[in-house]
């Protein structure tokens, strides 16, 4: 339990917390495309029925123990209504670029081979098929909105219908995503919110400032759910919320529980409330396809470790 003093420190207004990022320089958004390849995947979780839209929200740097009623009331509501675990595990290395590659391919870094964590165009792009490739091959529309340019290594122009990747903050990313939801309503969308991680590196994980940014990220997820409601999409949409890693101190390079353990939530009218056994974030890929009713490709063989519903 946090002390009263810690909670008072954590009660910083979200606007003041996010103000520390105004110095970030916004780079132009980019189009995006991954190359294709054959790989292995974990078995998908079983879900009753399918939906027309799947939105994956990755809150970069959100540790599982930062999900509580004080700082993340929206996520707690999603947990109460959907299927979830707060004991999901990220991959090794527990870094943003490798972990997001694992989310959208179902592969560990040893298989997808993206192990660096900065934007280095000379290293090329992902050589493996993503769920966005498979979705488009099955006639679905896709979109990616991300606040770190390093994710350009995963996505390029030809295999995603709309891609917005730039050094932006959470509000800018979510604003673009919701605007696109209103105009095009893609079937598969990834929204990457970068600021919780940035605040952790700046002030430390679980610092008052970082928890203020957690609260703001939660509010933005709520604005996404509100948009889904306004657009009358709730009955045909599933939202997956997870994270690429947590953190300890001002870093996330260790294998400690605070770093490796993240939330994994699936929410929507078609999702029954239940607590899931711990899963890997690699389960995100096959789960998204299964929710859309897409048959898992034959060349995506199951990995050794099973994922239990």
Structure tokens at 141: 């529309």
In a domain, 309, yes or no: no
In a domain, 27, yes or no: yes
> What is the rounded distance in angstroms from the CA atom of residue 84 to the CA atom of residue 271?
10
CATH number, domain with residue 149: 3.40.720.10
In a domain, 200, yes or no: yes
Query: Which residues, 6 or more positions from 292, have their beta carbon under 8 angstroms from its beta carbon?
Result: 50, 51, 52, 54, 135, 138, 140, 187, 188
User: Among 169, 111, 25, which Cα is nearest to 301's?
Assistant: 111
- Using alpha carbons only, what angle is made at residue 225 by residues 95 and 213, rounded to the nearest 5 degrees? 45
Full domain range(s) for residue 234: 4-302
User: Among 137, 135, 160, 146, which Cα is nearest to 54's?
Assistant: 135
- Report the largest interatomic distance among the alpha carbons of the chain, rounded to a whole angstrom: 54
Structure tokens at 198: 């940035």
Structure tokens at 11: 């009660």
Q: What is the pLDDT of residue 122?
A: 84
In a domain, 100, yes or no: yes
Q: What is the pLDDT of residue 36?
A: 39
In a domain, 175, yes or no: yes
Q: Is 150 helix (H, G, I), strand (E, B) or coil?
A: helix
Length of the chain equals 309
Q: What is the pLDDT of residue 216?
A: 98
> pTM of whole model > 0.75?
yes
> What is the rounded distance in angstroms from the CA atom of residue 48 to the CA atom of residue 25?
44
Q: How many domains does the chain have?
A: 1
User: Among 114, 91, 110, 111, which Cα is nearest to 260's?
Assistant: 91
Strand order in the sheet with 237-242: 162-165, 142-146, 188-193, 53-59, 237-242, 261-267, 83-89, 274-275
Q: What is the pLDDT of residue 74?
A: 98
In a domain, 308, yes or no: no
**pLDDT in single tens digits along all 309 residues of the chain:** 444 434 434 443 344 444 444 333 344 455 554 343 333 344 445 555 689 999 999 999 999 999 999 999 999 999 999 999 999 999 999 999 999 999 999 999 998 999 999 888 889 899 899 999 999 999 999 999 999 999 999 997 777 999 999 899 999 999 999 999 999 999 999 999 999 999 999 999 999 999 999 999 999 999 999 999 999 999 999 999 999 999 999 988 777 888 999 999 999 998 999 999 999 999 999 999 999 999 887 766 543 232 333
According to DSSP, residue 302 is labeled: E
> What is the rounded distance in angstroms from the CA atom of residue 124 to the CA atom of residue 302?
27
In a domain, 307, yes or no: no
């Amino acid at each position: 339990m946090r002390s009263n003093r810690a909670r008072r420190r954590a009660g910083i207004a979200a606007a003041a917390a996010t103000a520390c990022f105004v110095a970030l320089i916004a780079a132009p958004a980019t189009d995006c495309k991954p190359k294709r390849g054959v790989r292995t995947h974990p078995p998908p979780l079983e879900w009753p029925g399918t939906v027309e839209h799947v939105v994956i929200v990755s809150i970069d740097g959100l540790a599982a123990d930062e999900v509580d009623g004080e700082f993340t009331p929206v996520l707690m509501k999603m947990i109460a209504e959907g299927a979830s675990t707060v004991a999901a595990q990220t991959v090794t290395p527990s870094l943003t670029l490798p972990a997001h590659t694992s989310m959208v391919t179902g592969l560990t870094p040893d298989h997808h081979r993206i192990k660096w964590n900065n934007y280095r165009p000379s290293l090329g792009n992902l050589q493996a098929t993503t769920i966005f490739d498979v979705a488009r091959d099955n006639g679905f529309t896709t979109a990616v909105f991300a606040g770190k340019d390093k994710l350009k290594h995963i996505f390029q122009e030809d295999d995603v219908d709309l891609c917005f990747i730039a050094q932006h903050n959470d509000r800018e990313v979510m604003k673009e995503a919701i605007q696109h939801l209103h105009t095009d309503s893609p079937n598969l969308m990834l929204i990457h919110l970068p600021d919780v991680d940035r605040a952790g590196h700046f002030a430390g994980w679980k610092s008052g400032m970082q928890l203020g940014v957690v609260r703001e990220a939660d509010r933005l997820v709520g604005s996404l759910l509100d948009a889904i409601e306004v657009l009358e999409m709730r009955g045909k949409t599933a939202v997956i919320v997870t994270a690429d890693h947590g953190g300890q101190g001002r870093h996330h390079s260790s294998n400690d529980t605070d770093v490796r353990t993240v939330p994994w939530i699936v929410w929507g009218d078609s999702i029954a409330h239940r607590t899931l056994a711990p899963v890997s974030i690699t389960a995100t890929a096959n789960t998204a396809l299964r929710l859309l009713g897409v048959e898992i490709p034959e060349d995506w063989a199951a990995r050794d470790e099973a994922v239990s519903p």
